[in-house]
Amino acid sequence: MYVLPDAEFSGSSSKAIDAKTQLDNQLGGSSITNIPKGITDAVGCFSAQTRAKDKAANRFYLVSMANSGPGGQVSAAAEYKYLPIGRDKDEEECAKVFGIPNMTNWCPLTLMDVGSLGNYYNQQVLETVYTQMGTAAGKDLDFPNAICAQHLPVAPAFLPRAFFS
């Protein structure tokens, strides 16, 4: 278990590992307000050099692909949901905050909606890394020890149902 060196978190367990020194936690979620740049930046987190350096130092390499809604999304979503007058305009304003081409009439109202949107683009990141690894273009790419995703809306078949209860 990786935890901060605090007795309240670990109960002073001898099995607790100091996350501060043994965990390399990179934020690699693609930006959902600038998709091309976000994908390029996120692919950069899948670095073979970082993985090798962390392995040599006995560190755990973790990439977080979580993201959050852009500034203005919450207020635009609230106006759309709770103010019935001008709803079409509010929906367009909310969609515009994301800056995604051709997304003009959908407003992600919940954190799960925003997470699903981010995960949609994170698929492209994972696909790029997977298909380029082992090629000349992907010689500097490698998967980290673990990846954190925003959420899984449906339990995948390979995980037990109890994991999602």
Per-10-residue mean pLDDT of the chain, 165 residues long, equals: 60 73 78 77 88 92 84 81 80 83 85 84 88 88 87 58 48
Q: Looking at the domain assignment, is residue 9 inside a domain?
A: no
At residue 38, φ and ψ (nearest 5 deg) are -60, -40
Do 24 and 55 fall within a single domain?
yes
Q: In the prediction, which pLDDT does 54 show?
A: 93
Q: Looking at the domain assignment, is residue 11 inside a domain?
A: no
Q: Looking at the domain assignment, is residue 112 inside a domain?
A: no
The parent domain of residue 87 ranges over 70-107
Do 56 and 131 fall within a single domain?
yes
Do 98 and 134 fall within a single domain?
no
Do 60 and 24 fall within a single domain?
yes
Q: In the prediction, which pLDDT does 123 show?
A: 86
Beta strands in 85-157 (DSSP E): 146-148
Of 125, 116, 119, nearest in space to 144 by CA: 125
pTM above 0.95, yes or no: no
The alpha-carbon radius of gyration of the chain (Å, integer) is 19
Q: Looking at the domain assignment, is residue 4 inside a domain?
A: no
Of 148, 146, 144, 138, nearest in space to 45 by CA: 144
Q: Which of 81, 107, 133 is the last residue of a domain?
A: 107
Do 50 and 131 fall within a single domain?
yes
Do 133 and 164 fall within a single domain?
yes
Number of folded domains in the chain?
2
Do 61 and 79 fall within a single domain?
no
Do 52 and 63 fall within a single domain?
yes
Q: In the prediction, which pLDDT does 163 show?
A: 46
Tallying the residues shown for the chain, one arrives at: 165
Do 23 and 64 fall within a single domain?
yes
Q: Looking at the domain assignment, is residue 58 inside a domain?
A: yes
The rounded distance, in Å, linking the Cα atoms of 48 and 64 is: 16
